[in-house]
Structure 1
Amino acid sequence: MEAVFLGASKGIGYFTVLNLLQNNQNWKATLLLRKPDVFNNNHLIKPFIENGRLRIVQGDATNEDDLEKLFEGRKVDLVMSSIGAAPQFGLSGIKIDQPDLCTRGSIALLHVLGNLPQDVPPRVIVCSSMGIGEAHKDMPLAMRLLYSWLLDKPHQDKKSLEYLFHRSATDLPEMTSPHDIPPESLLSKQAIESTKANFLPEVIIVRPAFMPTEEAFDAVPGPKDKVGVEEGLSCYTIKRSDVGRFIVEDCLPGEGKDDKWVNKCPVVGYI
């Protein structure tokens, strides 16, 4: 089976790719990376590149021509996007180098997916965040206050991502609450209408809890019985490696797999 990953040079995407290849021999993966040499000294990833199970394509996740290269000559079963702009922390909150990266990346990806020649579109997994839109009320009070102060701008970008994939999914509910509608200054009506509606049969929007800084290449997931997964889960934190493990163990397509989280928005956090 074939998977395509966007934003997997580090973080959740990286841990998902590593877990997928280490524990599922029937999967191959293609990564789109702006800097293909990022794994040159990574002893965990290099063997999969050398044995042909991992293909690296240089490109930008907001460039449709680059995205099209990922699908040429192959049937793709899974697409996962965990792209996100690099944050810089300050007293006034987080400053984002590309505050509309998720919006632009989602539009580009949906344009490409909408034109794929394969009969059945791949399952799509996108990484968002807990506390987006109406889901803000589900968080503990301390996290609601923290997110309102620290993460308002990056969450606007995630709101666009969620809105676009809800609209493009066949079985996710339409987002009508004012809290779920992204500002037109970020996502214009023209941009929305440029994407195909109601064509993706299997979409999972993963909403991780707050993720403290951790080393991308050596983090170890925590005990599985401490990880909760639920729509509307009230929680505080999670490690990126735990989210990657959840995606591989509970969100992959395939015969005999449990599709519990397909067309849902699970929150992943420590309980």
Structure 2
Amino acid sequence: MPHAVFLGASRGIGLHTVVTLLGSTTTAQWTATLLLRKPETITADPRFETYIKDGRVNIVQGDATSEADVRKLFPAGKKVDLIVTSVGGAPQVTWTGFTIDQPELCKDSTLALLHVLASLDVPIPRIVAVSSMGIGENHKVLPFAMRILYEYTLSVPHRDKEALEHLFLRASTKLTPPTKLPGGNFLPSEAIQSVRDSFVPELIIVRPAMLVGGDEPPKGKGTTKVAEDLSTYTVRRSEVGRFIAEECVPGQDQWVNKLPVVGY
């Protein structure tokens, strides 16, 4: 069975991805290891009861920013085919716009993951990292209204996503990071230099449109748009999870070493 490792699968896109991947009847039967600060978010979810009982889901309690905890996801002798990281803080609304409760979570968890992977004497799995529409050069292809909205209300969480992208692009063997650094000193040079460059052969950075809805099911591939230069507005979390589980797994190579935007 192919095996996937998930960071940030307790809710949102990560949760929808693992549910879709495990429940697929059209792809190989996957197993998964989930790193969770609060395992009860999954163990209490009836959708996972059978998978846990059958050994298809393994839960590791820990923090995605801790290298010691992340290392537990890669035990000796266990082949990993896919890593999905959708780590993100909880959004909060302030008088200056949207912020997040852990404004450096994406940066710190990316550093931890890349440090651990660089120390392993095994082939590096495909990595799928969830970012956001409007990051970096992608900002200029946003619809005008979204450009204004993102610039003035999402600067704090987007700075963290910019750091995530910069670090993963540094580690990629095919892609290169932009020369402009996110948020001035937010990503210091010593943090960048601590990441081994050009060692991740297969990277997909998914840039969802503005996330809407709760647990509504995805509309499906036929109604979803995906392109690196896509100008769009919204997308359901479940849709992004479906896209990753169906179109970003090994054997589906259209988006490898690309930064696709997903929206309606």
* Mean CA deviation greater in 142-151 or 87-96: 87-96
- The residue that corresponds to 1:4 in the other structure is 5
What SS is found at the alignment partner of 2:185?
coil
The answer as to 2:112 corresponding to 1:108 is yes
TM-score (norm 2): 0.95
The answer as to 2:89 corresponding to 1:85 is yes
- Please tell me the residue identity of whatever aligns with 1:112: V
Partner Cα separation in structure 2 for residue 70 and residue 40 of structure 1: 18
Cα offsets for 1:204-259 (capped at 9, x unmatched): 000000002414xxx21114322100001000000011011111111101xxx231
- Please tell me the residue identity of whatever aligns with 2:218: P
- The residue that corresponds to 1:186 in the other structure is 186
- Please tell me the residue identity of whatever aligns with 2:256: V
Tell me, which stretches of 5 or more residues in structure 2 are unaligned?
none
Cα offsets for 1:15-51 (capped at 9, x unmatched): 1100110114531100000001112331111211111
Tell me, which stretches of 5 or more residues in structure 1 are unaligned?
none
Instruction: Give the CA RMSD over aligned residues.
Output: 1.2
- Please tell me the residue identity of whatever aligns with 1:226: T
Partner Cα separation in structure 1 for residue 60 and residue 111 of structure 2: 20
- The residue that corresponds to 1:38 in the other structure is 41
- The residue that corresponds to 2:255 in the other structure is 261
Question: Would you say how many aligned residue pairs link Structure 1 and Structure 2?
Answer: 260
Counterparts of residues 48-127 of structure 1 (less than 5 Å): 48-73=51-76, 74-118=78-122, 120-127=123-130
Partner Cα separation in structure 2 for residue 154 and residue 213 of structure 1: 19
What SS is found at the alignment partner of 2:211?
coil
- The residue that corresponds to 1:229 in the other structure is 226
What SS is found at the alignment partner of 1:57?
strand
Partner Cα separation in structure 1 for residue 11 and residue 49 of structure 2: 15
Counterparts of residues 240-259 of structure 1 (less than 5 Å): 240-253=237-250, 257-259=251-253
What is the percentage of aligned positions where both structures have the same residue? Answer: 51
- The residue that corresponds to 1:205 in the other structure is 205
Partner Cα separation in structure 2 for residue 85 and residue 52 of structure 1: 29
Counterparts of residues 138-157 of structure 1 (less than 5 Å): 138-157=141-160
- Please tell me the residue identity of whatever aligns with 2:14: G
TM-score (norm 1): 0.93
Partner Cα separation in structure 1 for residue 183 and residue 244 of structure 2: 30
Partner Cα separation in structure 2 for residue 252 and residue 3 of structure 1: 9
Cα offsets for 1:143-193 (capped at 9, x unmatched): 1111112111100000000000111000013423x3xx2134211100110
The answer as to 2:171 corresponding to 1:168 is yes
* Mean CA deviation greater in 127-136 or 37-46: 37-46
